[in-house]
Amino acid sequence: MPRRGIFISSVQSEFSEERKALCDYICADPMLGKFFDPFLFERLPAIDQRADEVYLHEAARCDIYLGLFGKSYGTVLQDGVSPTEQEFDQATEHHKTRLIFLTNDSPEQREARQNKLIAKAQDVVVRKKFNHIEELKSAVYASLVRYLEEQEVIRTGPFDASFHPKASLEDIDTEKLRSFVRLAQVKRGFPLAETAPAAHILTHLNLYDQGRVTNAALLLFGKAPQRHFINSEVRCASFAGYKVEKPIPSYKVFKGTLFELVDQALEFVLNKLDYRIETRAEHVSIPGSYEIPKDVVSEAIVNAIAHRDYTSNASVQVMVFRDRLEILNPGALPLGWTTEKLKQLHTSVPANPLLAEPLYLAGYIERMGTGTTDMLEKCHAAGLQEPQFIQMEEFRTILYRAEKKQVGEQVGEQVGEQVGEQVRSLLLIAAHEMSVMELMEALQLKGRRNFLQHYLHPAITASLMERTQPDAPKSPTQKYRLTPKGLALKALLLKQS
């Protein structure tokens, strides 16, 4: 199937970088690159032909005219109009699909001739405003997907841009939407007010059209996203050792909007990492840092949630081990990409652009396209082993914890030689909160007095286990659990076994 030509038109001096970035984005995107061939005049080799003849010929030949209109009208030619207006008129004369994207400037900030050109375009095409290149990419992506759907080139659009067949604006949580707007105003200068109608805000984000909401809108701002997409959840677990094995000390399944999933998963991980308190000599408050930089953990979690394949029945998984953090998502790199490319500067090609853009606007993604390289730099600065990116059936990110004497080794030096084999056996079978009978059954012991005298009481005396009801030691519902010191020694014993 031949690719559709896209003629990118603008005042070159005003949009030099945006034109190149947009062209690269369309070519690199797995879907857009398959259907579209963007044209930039500045990338043509030197030819013996007048410039105006070339760009007008291309404007007539291409299937789509994509205009970027800013403050400047451009150089006025002999016929009294600029090349940009010539190109627009050529596309109009040849009945091309015209997509116009405006900078978010007021008429007073634009040249008078530019305002007239925008007024002309307003009469015949639908316009979209943008503040920065990432917002422009998102708007172009949505417009091109809908072009393919209208042309029946594709009958089912990408997941994030597809309209949900049953949901409506009633399924959107307006308070969550307003909270997003407040945050996006602070982080990225979002132009709309939080009091704007939900339909206006979602339309600006390319998430709503003619009474229909996209899948992305439900995942980002839905009242109950998992009612529509049961697989949109994050499963988090922590393990005492170096591999997946039972018992699992901590396991959570988080649900909610994508913003809530990121926040909950990040809190889960940070609660499992070591936190180092620094000196207050030069600070009013006490500074500190996690063993894996918080920004690195956040970036990895956001990437997994934003770029996953939502058509898969699998969920995002976050697993904390003694020496590392692993984050898995059912997704894949863009076609032709390798994991090594992620370790170099690269263009931003989000798998779900309409999901990624609001996450960017809310500050959850600092700089789209540089996240993985930032992770590498921050881990290096923290003295950590380089993160690993692995593409198999799922995409896996591995962040390594600090290589230092672990707490368990310190505990082992202090009390490891002081506890007998009975206590060691007790620690190895202890999981969650267990009663005396449950502990004895796990150890296959029948003598209660023997168990208390040689197993449980020594473990409590060594602060390796504790009662769940310390103020009622003889309570019939009393249970016992490992202390942090007990968990650390257990991890050391498992390592040595």
Q: Are 191 and 287 part of one and the same domain?
A: no
Q: Are 243 and 181 part of one and the same domain?
A: no
Is 391 inside a domain boundary? Answer: yes
Q: Are 248 and 146 part of one and the same domain?
A: no
Is 188 inside a domain boundary? Answer: yes
Q: Are 299 and 378 part of one and the same domain?
A: yes
Residue 285 identity (one-letter amino acid): S
Residue 126 identity (one-letter amino acid): V
Q: Are 377 and 395 part of one and the same domain?
A: yes
Q: From CA 249, how far away is CA 433, in angstroms rounded? A: 10
Tokens 């996006």 locate to: 184
| CA 366 to the chain's CA centroid | 10
Q: Are 244 and 198 part of one and the same domain?
A: no
Residue 219 identity (one-letter amino acid): L
Q: Are 32 and 181 part of one and the same domain?
A: no
Q: Are 144 and 173 part of one and the same domain?
A: no
Name the burial class of residue 231, with classes exposed (0-12), middle (13-18) and buried (19+) by CB atoms within 10 angstroms of its CB: middle
- In order, the DSSP letters of 139-190 are HHHHHHHHHHHHTTS-SS--TTTSBPSS--GGGB-HHHHHHHHHHHHHHH--
Q: At which of 197, 226, 255 does a domain end?
A: 226
Strands 127-130 and 97-103: what pairing?
parallel
Helices 294-307 + 371-381 axis angle, to 10: 160
Is 193 inside a domain boundary? Answer: yes
Tokens 């015949």 locate to: 124
pTM: predicted TM-score of the whole model, two decimal places:
0.60
Q: What is the CATH number of the domain that holds 32?
A: 3.40.50.450
Q: From CA 331, how far away is CA 315, in angstroms rounded? A: 10
Is 279 inside a domain boundary? Answer: yes
Q: At which of 374, 400, 426 does a domain end?
A: 400
Is 158 inside a domain boundary? Answer: no
Q: Are 44 and 120 part of one and the same domain?
A: yes
Residue 386: count of CB within 10 angstroms of its CB: 12
Q: What is the CATH number of the domain that holds 244?
A: 3.30.565.60
- In order along its 497 residues, the chain shows pLDDT tens digits of 678 999 999 998 899 899 999 999 999 888 899 999 998 877 666 555 566 677 888 889 999 999 999 999 999 987 889 999 999 999 999 999 999 999 989 999 999 999 999 988 876 665 678 888 888 998 899 889 888 877 878 766 688 988 998 999 999 999 999 999 999 999 999 999 999 999 999 999 999 998 999 999 999 999 999 999 999 999 999 998 888 988 888 999 999 999 999 999 999 999 888 877 555 455 444 456 889 999 999 999 999 999 998 988 899 999 999 999 999 999 887 766 778 888 877 776 778 889 989 999 999 986 656 778 889 999 999 899 999 998 877 899 999 998 754 444 444 444 444 567 788 889 989 988 999 999 998 888 888 888 898 889 999 988 899 999 988 888 989 999 998 888 888 888 787 65
Q: What is the CATH number of the domain that holds 446?
A: 1.10.10.10
Is 15 inside a domain boundary? Answer: yes
Residue 67 · residue 10 · CB < 8 Å: yes
Q: At which of 367, 400, 433 does a domain end?
A: 400
Is 159 inside a domain boundary? Answer: no
Strands 4-10 and 275-277: what pairing?
unpaired
Nearest to 143 by CA among 57, 221, 196, 65: 65
Q: Are 26 and 67 part of one and the same domain?
A: yes
Q: Are 302 and 376 part of one and the same domain?
A: yes
| Total structural domains within the chain | 4
Is 161 inside a domain boundary? Answer: no
Q: Are 442 and 326 part of one and the same domain?
A: no
Residue 181 · residue 202 · CB < 8 Å: no
Instruction: Supply the range of the domain harboring residue 98.
Output: 4-150
